[in-house]
Structure formats: structure tokens, C-alpha cells
A and B are shown apart, each in its own frame.
Chain A
Amino acid sequence: MIEVIDLCKSFNGQPVLKGLTLSIAAGELLVIIGRSGGGKSVLLKHLIGLFRPDSGQVLINGVDLPGLRGRALDDLRTKFGVVFQGNALFDSVSVFDNVAFPLREKTRLPPDVIHARVEERLEQVGLAGAGHKFPAELSGGMRKRVAIARALVTEPEIVFLDEPTTGLDPILCTTIHHLIRDLHRKLHFTAVMASHEIPDIFEIAHRVAMLHDGVIVEAASPEIIQASANPVVRQFIQGETEGPIQVT
């Protein structure tokens, strides 16, 4: 479904991704872990076509994403749902209009169908009746749920989530994780999520990929990752300061 082959990206001569290879199967829930500033967001932005690779390939269903432009790129993107690290809600319109936006702009559904769909999604994320509020009036956890509702309203094939729980309290964190897991079971999308919520993500991930020093050092099931012999992975999931990862 998604193939990343030998992806390289530098910013101002500073390499961030150094020949990263990763493949993601249809329907799986993959969690990318790695240190802050390690390039998780940069990798995700390549997968949704916001960054162009310096070299290497990103294939979505066999189509080379960086090679697409204009209409072809827009059409492929209609299959995506994205939850940005900072939510990226439109702050000039209400919660309802935020969630309805992709439906109104990308489909020809009649208003009553759109209304029903938006209400359904808001209810699924536990925000029934909050549609008239504005993003600025909501708490962090509620905003994140609006972002998730907006990403899922078009019934996307692939959902990208960039650190959906960073900055939330532990209870909200678990709530959001369970929400993602339940929605994933119900809607059968492919999910790619960046996170460093260890050990929570081991409960929900089908597969965990560790990004370190610009490459994926290991990608495997949560059980295997937790018992990994790789010193980088071990140090990261145990949160130790001593080891191959330099703490700066």
C-alpha cells in the first residue's frame, strides 16, 4: 500500500532522513516511534506530499507520489485523512464547519447528508452537540478529537496522525488511543501514526517502527519490539540516558 524506498532529505545541508526504507500494508496500524526532532513529522510530510524527497521514492498504491502534480495529486490526496501535530483546525469557523469542510468542498453530497455525517463523526469522537463552538473555545483534548473527526469524515483509505496525544494528560491520552483503535476497527483504514507514548502504543499498534538517525532501525510487532535486542530500540523504550543514542 505505502512503500518508502531509500528516502533522503536534508534541510540547509543538515540531513534528516538518510536513506529510509519502510513499507506499510493495507489496513494495518503502524506506529512510528523515535526521538523528538528525529524526523517523524518530516517522514509523514513526505507521505502526504507536502515535502519532496531529495532522492528516493514514495509509492502509494504503486503510484510515485512526489512525481504527481495538480489534479492527479489532489485526487490521490482525497484518499488521505491527516491529523496534524498542532491540529490545524480552521480557527475562523465553527467545529461543525471544520468537520464539514472537506465534505462540502470535495464531494457533491446534499447538505442534509453532510449534516448527518458530520454529526455521526462528532458523536463517535464524543463531541455530540459541540458543533456550534469555535476551536478556540475548546480544550486541547477536544480540539484533537475535532481534528480526528475532520480527518475521518471523508472515509479516507489512509489516515496519518502526527503525535495525536503529545501534550495531553494520561487519561486523555488513553482515551484518544482507544478512540483511534476503535475507529480503526470500525472503519478499516490504514493508519500511520507518529508517537513516542511508550508503552501505551504497544497496546494499539499492529506494528511499531523505530526511526533513529534518519533510518528505520527496526520495524516489527509490538511484542518483538518490546523484546528487541537492538540497543537503540532498547534504550529508547526503556528511556535510559546511557546507550548508543546520544542525549544532547
Chain B
Amino acid sequence: MSVVRSTPLRPVQSLGRWGVESLEAMGRFALFLGEAVVWTFIPPLKVSQFYRRVHFIGVRSLSVILLTGAFTGMVLGLQTFLTLSRFGSEALLGPAVALSLVREMGPVFTALMVTGRTGSALTAEIGIMRITEQIDAIQVMGLNPMRYLIVPILLAGVATFPLLTAIFDVVGILGGYLVGVQIMGLSSGTYFGEMRTFVSLDDITTGLWKSFAFGVVVTWACSYKGYYTAQGTVGVSRATTEAVVLSSVLILVWDYFMGSVLP
């Protein structure tokens, strides 16, 4: 540590340390998921904890999903209508709105909204369990915190995200309908009929895969940050902020990645 003393080399040293520390953190982050996945397949599953987390993620996020879904659909309906009408192809409003929602905006916005609404709360809850030694208490009882705490959260993420995304999509499409049909005067048959022609099963499965993946990403990032919270209330507030940032960045990066791989 004290080998480098001269000033010119100090930036190099701190860069090196930063590199090593980042690599270490990434390794720990990856191992955390690995361990959780292994414990997922070792019975018994803590069913009551799983239900509790489904409730925690699903029910708490529902209102915000309904609200943002509706407005996203309406904005999308308006903007797309205005664009399409320049080419005289307003008839394609339905599929345009539906495709944007199903492939892209539904999964991404749902994941971002859940991160803000419940991901942060999840981090805070686990972080407080960490600093009040509740996680240590589970461990010294000879039990595994992964099984009791983390696995139910990950599984609840996988179970709820596709459903929340589907709700977001449906509400969004209805929002687009409201603007396109009720306000702009497109016919209802055109809106839904063209949708049936242009939206394929591939689009729906793409959205579904994305939402599964985001369910893992969000719960993984948020529970990881809570699990490794530093001591003190400052530790919890920092962990919460970092969880939201990490989760949001991962959602967007992973969305691009999946978008270029999936059909």
C-alpha cells in the first residue's frame, strides 16, 4: 500500500485501487445472484414469504402502474397520431401504439416505476434488517438469509413483473384509444383491427421475456444494495439511492441488449 509515495504516481495508484474495488464489487454482485439462484432450487421454498413479497411488489405498484400506463398510452396516441397524419396513415395508429408499448415501453416503464415505488422500499427494508442485526440473527439461528429473504423477493419479481407489464400495456392501449378514437375521431374498428394484423406473437414474447428479465434485474439490484448496506442510517439512505440508480441503469442497458438479441 505504501510502496507508491511519490506524487506523480499517486493518480495511477488511486486509479488502480478504484479498478480493483470496482471489479471486486462486480464480482460480489454477480455471486449474490448466483447464490440466490442456487438457493432457489434447494427446497423448501418459504411460501409465506413469497406471498408477502408478491403482495409487496404487486399490490403496492398497481396504482402507479395504472396511472403511468394510462398517460403513457395517451401521450403515445397523441404524438403518434400527429406524426402519422402527416403521411396520411392515421389508420396505423393502433398497431403503432401497441407495438411501442408491448415491445419497449411497457416492460421498461413498468420496471422503472416498480424500482421507484417498491424497489427502493425493498432496499431500505433489507438495509434496516442488516444494520439492526436481524440478518445476523437469522444466520446464528443456523438458517440461511438467502432462503428466507432474497429468494422469495427474486421469485416475486419474476412472478409480478410480467403481470404488471401486461396491465401497463392494456391500460396504455386504452389510453391511446381514448386519444385516437374518442378525441381525434379515428374509428374504433380501425384502431383495434389493424392492431390484430400487425402485432405478432413474437412482439408479445419479446415483451414478456423483457419483463421476466427486468423482474430479476430490479429485485437483484435492490436486494443486493440492501444486503450490503453499510452501518448507520446514512448507510441505508445511500444504499437506497444507489439501488435506484443501479436498477434504472441496468434496466436500460439490458433493454438495449435484449432488443438487439430477441426477434
Contacts and interface: CB of A to CB of B under 8 A. Distances in A.
Contact of B133 (A73, A76, A80, A88): A88
B132 A77 contact: no
B141 interface: yes
A84 B143 contact: no
B134 A105 contact: no
A82 B134 contact: no
A126 interface: no
Interface string A91-134: 10000000001100110000000000000000000000000000
Given A86-B133, A88-B134, A90-B134, A49 B140 contact: yes
Given A88-B132, A90-B134, A106 B141 contact: yes
Nearest to A45: B136
Nearest to A160: B140
A48 interface: yes
Interface string A66-85: 00000001111110101011
Contacts of B133: 84-86, 88
B139 interface: yes
A91 B124 CA distance: 14
Nearest to B141: A102
B158 to A, nearest CB: 22
B140 A86 contact: no
A50 interface: yes
Nearest to A50: B136
19 contacts: A45-B136, A50-B136, A50-B140, A76-B142, A78-B141, A78-B142, A80-B142, A82-B140, A84-B137, A85-B133, A86-B133, A87-B132, A88-B132, A89-B134, A101-B141, A102-B141, A105-B141, A105-B143, A106-B141
Q: List the 6 shortest-distance A-B pairs measured between CB atoms, nearest first.
A: A74-B142, A77-B142, A88-B133, A88-B137, A84-B133, A78-B142
Interface of B: 132-134, 136-137, 139-144
Interface of A: 45, 48-50, 73-78, 80, 82, 84-91, 101-102, 105-106
